[in-house]
Structure 1
Amino acid sequence: MVSIDGLGDLWDKLFGAQPDPPPLLVLLTAVVALVVVSTRLPWRIARNAITIAHEGGHALVALLTGRRLHGIRLHSDTSGLTLSAGRPTGPGMILTLLAGYVAPPLVGLAGAWLLGGNRITLLLWVAVALLLAMLVLVRNAFGVLSLLVTGGAVLAVSWYATPQVQAAFAYTGVWFLLLGGVRPVAELQRLRSRGRMPASDADQLAGLTPLPAFFWVTFFALANLAALAAGALLLAGPILADAGLTG
């Protein structure tokens, strides 16, 4: 049986604020995330985390709009598929399609908000909880393995790592979601221009609305850039304030 003191310690660990990270850590983690996003092999490996957030966005909005979720599949080529049933047209389907590409930077923005309050451990535990919830919905072996590895890494860092390592891990992950949400939109348009993604989210949205696919690609890009700017301000705001660059 867990004692009251033990529960109190767990509560403090989960919801307590950690010390402010050194400004250098915030900047270095941003550089690391940018290098991963902009280089081929690291991006190829780390992109799985973007796919997890992308498909998670589809799944969450499908459930919130009353659609029946049949499952999620994550593939080794970093593609994914979320299957839901319901009306093939209408607001629910449109919002479900809309959620995928904007989900990674929005998740990053939520993470930046938590980091802005120095809730590093809480951020890591929330990430574990979301990955576990998504695990129930995955319907293929690679997807299960990908979520178990990702969730296990986050759990291990949150439970065993020092506060400094937790901070570095959390900041790198949030920067990666913010920055990594932009590149897939550019890749989407490049593949579309070559006729290689005729059934992309943007093209399906074009079929459901009066607006062309390029409008939706542009919307994804602008939304993700806005989330990146807001998240960067949350993460780097204390540094700018210390430097006297903010009001």
Structure 2
Amino acid sequence: MEIVQRWWQAVLAGFGEAEPLVLTPLPVLGLLALCVGLTVPRASWRIFGLYVTFVHELGHAFAALVTGRFVHGLKIRLDHSGEMVSSGKPGFSAVFSGFWGYPAPAVVGLALVASTYFGHASAALSVGALVLLVSLLFLRNWAGIAIALASALCAQLLVVFTPPAATSWVVLGLGLMLLVGGLRDLFKVIGVHTRRRELIASSDAYLLGQRSWLPAWFWLLGFILVVGSSVALSGWLLTLMMG
């Protein structure tokens, strides 16, 4: 019980406003190199890519919920594929929820970078920890549950044990890793449409093209626009933090 109370107090404490992060170029370059080193090599991507897939599927689920759809469950597989099953009226809500998968990691990454700029990194960490706990209710396969439990456990440990002075750096690092991961997945889906068309039936852009009167390339451009804008805005915020 004491552990739960300590965790809850740490979550609540995270909602207090902190000082915005002030950066210098060298530490930022070092952090970027670390993020790229953890997200680009195939060996480390096998692990971190599962978390990016998790955020991808949560993007589908959140978009479904805000448009009034009922989310039946999420599945995340060890091959980095996933599935979100929802029901509701066909049309806008189905297309809207189908779109917000690939952009989700980059958008969340931008939100984390922005939270460090505006002095809300601790709140972002607390919110993220709570969201990951709630997401456990929607998982419907053992691999997905294991991935969600590991992600939720890491989030809770970060909330409880990250020193206040380091919180902004941790949140900034997570944001940058999600941005790089979102870019990597974007290039992957573009590659499916240009070089590996035997896999096209698994592409969200292809599925959106089947559900709407707009072609797959339109949805690919939408992914590129949102992910690219998230990366560009994050870069702009980094330059502002470096003065």
Q: CA deviation at 1:82?
A: 0.3
- Residue in structure 1 matching 2:206, options 200, 203, 207: 203
When structure 1 is superposed on structure 2, of 35-44 and 226-235 the one drifting more is: 35-44
Match of 2:58 in 1: 56
1:22-58 deviation per Cα after TM superposition (whole angstroms, max 9, x unaligned):
4243332222112223221112211112111110011
Match runs of 1:130-145 below 5 Å: 130-145=131-146
CA distance in 1, matches of 2:188, 2:11: 43
- Residue in structure 1 matching 2:88, options 86, 93, 114: 86
CA distance in 2, matches of 1:48, 1:56: 12
Return the TM-score normalized by structure 1. Answer: 0.86
Match of 2:239 in 1: 236
Match of 1:158 in 2: 159
Q: Is 2:56–2:105's contact at 8 Å kept on the other side of the alignment?
A: yes
Structure 1 segments unaligned to the other structure (5+ residues): 242-247
Match of 2:130 in 1: 129
Amino acid in structure 2 at the alignment position of 1:27 = L
Matched, 1:41 2:47: no
Match runs of 1:168-247 below 5 Å: 168-193=169-194, 194=196, 195-239=198-242, 241=243
Structure 2 segments unaligned to the other structure (5+ residues): none
Q: CA deviation at 1:86?
A: 2.1
Q: CA deviation at 1:92?
A: 0.6
CA distance in 2, matches of 1:50, 1:214: 23
Amino acid in structure 2 at the alignment position of 1:63 = L
Q: CA deviation at 1:111?
A: 1.3
The 1:9–1:45 alpha-carbon spacing in structure 2 relative to 1, beyond 3 Å, is closer
Amino acid in structure 2 at the alignment position of 1:90 = G
When structure 1 is superposed on structure 2, of 97-106 and 214-223 the one drifting more is: 214-223
When structure 1 is superposed on structure 2, of 154-163 and 22-31 the one drifting more is: 22-31
Q: CA deviation at 1:163?
A: 3.3
Secondary structure of the residue aligned to 1:17 is: coil
The 1:10–1:106 alpha-carbon spacing in structure 2 relative to 1, beyond 3 Å, is closer
Match of 2:17 in 1: 16
Q: CA deviation at 1:85?
A: 1.2
The 1:41–1:10 alpha-carbon spacing in structure 2 relative to 1, beyond 3 Å, is closer
The 1:192–1:54 alpha-carbon spacing in structure 2 relative to 1, beyond 3 Å, is same
Q: Is 1:25–1:168's contact at 8 Å kept on the other side of the alignment?
A: no
When structure 1 is superposed on structure 2, of 25-34 and 62-71 the one drifting more is: 25-34
Which protein is bigger by CA-based radius of gyration? Answer: 1
Match of 1:99 in 2: 100
The 1:166–1:45 alpha-carbon spacing in structure 2 relative to 1, beyond 3 Å, is same
Match of 1:68 in 2: 70
Q: CA deviation at 1:119?
A: 2.1
Q: Is 2:11–2:126's contact at 8 Å kept on the other side of the alignment?
A: no
The 1:28–1:60 alpha-carbon spacing in structure 2 relative to 1, beyond 3 Å, is same
Amino acid in structure 2 at the alignment position of 1:209 = S
When structure 1 is superposed on structure 2, of 9-18 and 94-103 the one drifting more is: 9-18
Amino acid in structure 2 at the alignment position of 1:188 = V
Amino acid in structure 1 at the alignment position of 2:187 = A
CA distance in 2, matches of 1:9, 1:154: 12
Equivalent residue pairs, number: 236
Return the TM-score normalized by structure 2. Answer: 0.87
